[in-house]
Amino acid sequence: MRPFYEPDGGLLIPTALTSGPWSEALQHGGPPSALLARACEALAPAELWHPARITIDFLRPVAVAAPLLAVATTTRTGKQVLGVDAELRSLGAGEPRPVARARALFIRRQPLELPPHAAPDEQLRDPERLPAIGFDFFPWKVGYHTAVATRRESGTPGAGPAVAWLRTLHPLVGDEPISPLQRVLLAADAINGVGANLDMARYSFVNADLSVYLHRLPDGPWIRLAAAPHPQPHGVGLVLAELGDTRGPIGHALEAQVITTREAPLPAANE
């Protein structure tokens, strides 16, 4: 099955599945975020460390046509806490350029007995029973929107707030198994679309970052996004979402938006 990225030695070659909604030539934020999570995880063994927080800063648009290089370094070491920074570099024409950076905080796993009801309540859900939907605001035939399955729980994505479930249909890199953290990052950046309430033909609302906090990793492939938008007339917006899986809540995601009026309308979908 075709992945989001093909490995080529140490490089990662984007495929058309990474295309986002703003330009067919530019990547959706989810796949690059998952690549940065992958780089951070390589320095934090999953049996020892839980990813409590990862923040992605999108420095510039990520081209679909340019190979990428992900590098990570340990920035904080301790008995209970581990810090890892990662950088994604685009190797297009000229010198490699940083396009996104991540800062991750891992907490050491340890067995702990909690009193009753101290942990968040869990409520079993079955997204397979919900109606399938698509991200119809993508104008191209192939992209991120065709690489994920989507179910609607409530509201309408694009006319937020809304609750939707996402499941990736493709590997992230080559034929590697995708990790639970990578699944979360692939889905979490979609809160910008799930929770949007502005007309994409009139407005651009690109998110400049993505922060994800997780109290536990998801079980299974489905990620629940309960997203609410907060656009403001000074051109700044926030999207806040509760994240979950079929067992219940797993954490939260937050994005800061740069909102502008579009100079030209987007083409009609599937033109």
- 260 pLDDT band (50/70/90 cuts)? very high
Q: Which residue has the tokens 């049996």?
A: 47
Percent of the chain residues topping a pLDDT of 70:
96
Tell me the H-state helices in 113-267: 180-188, 191-194
The predicted model gives 140-167 an average pLDDT of 92
| Cα end-to-end distance, the chain, whole Å | 26
Q: Which H or E element spans position 34?
A: helix 30-41
Query: Cα separation of 199 and 212, whole Å?
Result: 26
Residue 270's pLDDT is: 42
For 56-69, write each residue's pLDDT tens digit. Answer: 999 999 999 999 99
User: 192 lies in a domain?
Assistant: yes
Query: Cα separation of 32 and 15, whole Å?
Result: 12
Note the pTM of the prediction, 2 decimals.
0.93
User: 13 lies in a domain?
Assistant: yes
User: 58 lies in a domain?
Assistant: yes
pLDDT at 35 over 70: yes
Query: Cα separation of 54 and 213, whole Å?
Result: 7
Q: Domain residues for 28?
A: 5-108+127-261
User: 270 lies in a domain?
Assistant: no
pLDDT at 125 over 70: yes
For 189-235, write each residue's pLDDT tens digit. Answer: 999 999 989 988 889 899 999 999 999 999 999 999 999 999 999 99
User: 114 lies in a domain?
Assistant: no
The predicted model gives 32-58 an average pLDDT of 97
Residue 222's pLDDT is: 98
User: 271 lies in a domain?
Assistant: no
Question: Which domain CATH number covers 133?
Answer: 2.40.160.210
Residue 155's pLDDT is: 92
User: 97 lies in a domain?
Assistant: yes
- 122 pLDDT band (50/70/90 cuts)? confident
- Number of separate domains in the chain: 1
Higher pLDDT, 22 or 258: 258
pLDDT at 18 over 90: yes
Percent of the chain residues topping a pLDDT of 90:
80
User: 118 lies in a domain?
Assistant: no
